[in-house]
Structure 1
Amino acid sequence: MLRVEDVVAGYGGVPVLRGVSLEVAPGEVVAVLGANGVGKTTLNRTISGLVRASSGTITFEGARIERAAPPAIVRAGLIHVPEGRRIFPNLTVRENLELGAYARARENRTANLERAFATFPRLRERAGQLAGTLSGGEQQMLAIGRGLMAEPRLLILDEPSLGLSPLLVEELFALIARIAAQGLAVMLVEQNVVQSLALAARAYVLENGAVVMQGPAAELARNPDLERAYLGL
């Protein structure tokens, strides 16, 4: 479904990604792990067209997208839920969700809104509430729900557990597992190693802008080199 091959990208001529390659198959949950600053968000932004790759190829469902504009990538069904949630605080929960269907699946907005409320019942309770007044966990649910409104073929989640309490992290990962169980491909980009590996089928570990470990998640979880690669020890 998604294939990234030898991608180099960065900012102002300074490379952040140094030949990254990875794949996500249909219906698969893939974790991309790494400490802060190793290039995870740059990878997401490059896949989404927000950062232009200087070399390498990115293919989504058989079509090359490394030169495509972000709106075209969204319309193809590759939906990126960014780090920091990026909700619209002065709009209601319902309005935020409806904006998720602006570029894709607009004709199914009513049905998809009901599905988002079914997935996140707390959002239904707060449908008329301003999004900026939600708790951090509720805002993350809203950001994911907004992404689901576009009927994604692949959902990229960038640090969804960042800043949440341990209890909310548990709840969030359970919700992501439910979404993935419906057959949606998910690329989970996280610092939370233990829970990400428990959820994913396969995983990649980034260090200094390059993939240093990859394989089945269960095998990586047992690999003693994971701490060295992840923590740089």
Structure 2
Amino acid sequence: MTPLLSVRGLRSGYGAVEVLRGVDIEVGPGEIVALLGSNGAGKSTFNHTVSGLVRARGGRILFDGQDITGRSCRAIVEAGLIQVPEGRRIFPNLSVLENLELGSFARARARRADNLERVFGIFPRLQERTRQLAGTMSGGEQQMLAIGRGLMGEPRLLILDEPSLGLSPLLVEELFGLIGRLHAQGLAILLVEQNVGQSLEIAQRAYVLENGAVDFSGSSAQLLASDRLRQAYLGV
């Protein structure tokens, strides 16, 4: 099966600091793949480089067989690779509806009404609050809004960057249930998380970044069976 996303030898960083040092990662059509690692491992730099927000210093990024290395972030979104960023990055002074509509600015604008209906079907709470300013919502509601905004662009691959960050345990359970439902609809997801245990329960495969390089990779079952990974990341 041809990968939907294929990253080979990716190097990236900021100024004189090289953060990613030859990272290889693949995501197949319809897969959930987890990218795991502690703070400072390079996860967000990977997301930003793949999404065109940070320029790659080496390696190649292929999306659906097309080389997108060095393309603008808008061109990458137009191709269907959409990121839900860490910290949600909603527009606090805009309404819920306005935030959602911005998700279709670069892609799927002609199907905005249909996609709004789909998002409201997934998140009925957002439909109840279309006129509410996004900045007045709870953290869990803002995460719903951020994911809904990403879905408005009809992603072929959705990157979720630390989606459980700052959420209560109950909301984390709801979030992972939602990710499972999106996957069941055929959406490919790259789940970038510090929550190793729950990520491995839902993902088919996983990569673990450490100091800007892939330290572990394999099926979720293989990683859960690794004594070294369990000791380092699960504390068992």
1:105·1:151 contact (CA, 8 Å) conserved in 2? yes
CA distance in 1, matches of 2:159, 2:108: 18
Between the aligned partners of 2:127 and 2:201, the Cα distance in structure 1 is: 29
Letter in 2 for 1:44: N
In the alignment, what sits opposite 2:83?
A: 80
CA distance in 1, matches of 2:194, 2:217: 15
* Kept after mapping to 2: 8 A contact 1:205/1:229: no
C-alpha distance in 2 between matches for 1:230 and 1:128 = 42
Deviation at 1:223, TM superposition (A): 1.4
1:136 has 2:139 as partner: yes
Deviation at 1:183, TM superposition (A): 0.2
- 5+ residue gaps in structure 1? none
User: How far, CA to CA, are the matches of 2:93 and 2:224 in structure 1?
Assistant: 42
Aligned equivalents of 1:23, 1:156: Cα separation in 2: 13
User: Aligned match of 1:59 in 62, 68, 73?
Assistant: 62
Q: What is the correspondence of 1:3-152 to structure 2 with a 5 Å cutoff?
A: 3-152=6-155
TM-score in terms of structure 2 length:
0.96
- TM-score normalised to structure 1 length: 0.97
Q: Distance in 1 between matches of 2:142 and 2:74?
A: 23
Shift of 1:13: 2.6
Could you report, residue by residue, the CA deviation over 1:37-86 in whole angstroms, capped at 9, with x for unpaired residues? 10000000000011111110000001111110100000000001110000
Whole-Å separation in 1 of the counterparts to 2:183 and 2:127:
21
Q: Which amino acid aligns with 2:115?
A: N
| Cα separation, partners in 2 of 1:228 and 1:161, compared to 1, 3 Å | same
CA distance in 2, matches of 1:133, 1:207: 36
Which residue type is aligned with residue 83 of structure 2?
Answer: H
CA shift digits 1:184-224 (9 cap, x unpaired)? 00000000011100110000000000001000112211211
| Residue in 2 that maps onto 1:178 | 181
Q: Which amino acid aligns with 1:140?
A: Q
Instruction: For residue 227 of structure 1, report the CA deviation from its aligned partner.
Output: 3.5
- State how far apart, in whole Å, the 1-side matches of 2:133 and 2:70 are: 36
In 2, Cα distance between equivalents of 1:54 and 1:20: 12
Q: Which runs of 4+ in 1 moved over 6 A?
A: none
Give aligned pairs, total: 232
In 2, are the aligned partners of 1:90 and 1:130 still within 8 Å (CA)?
Answer: yes
Structure 2 letter corresponding to 1:84: G
Query: Quick one: which of 153, 161, 171 aligns to 1:158?
Result: 161
| Structure 2 unmatched ranges of 5 or more | none
One of 204, 207, 215 as aligned partner of 2:207: 204
Identity %: 68
Which amino acid is 2:60 matched to? T
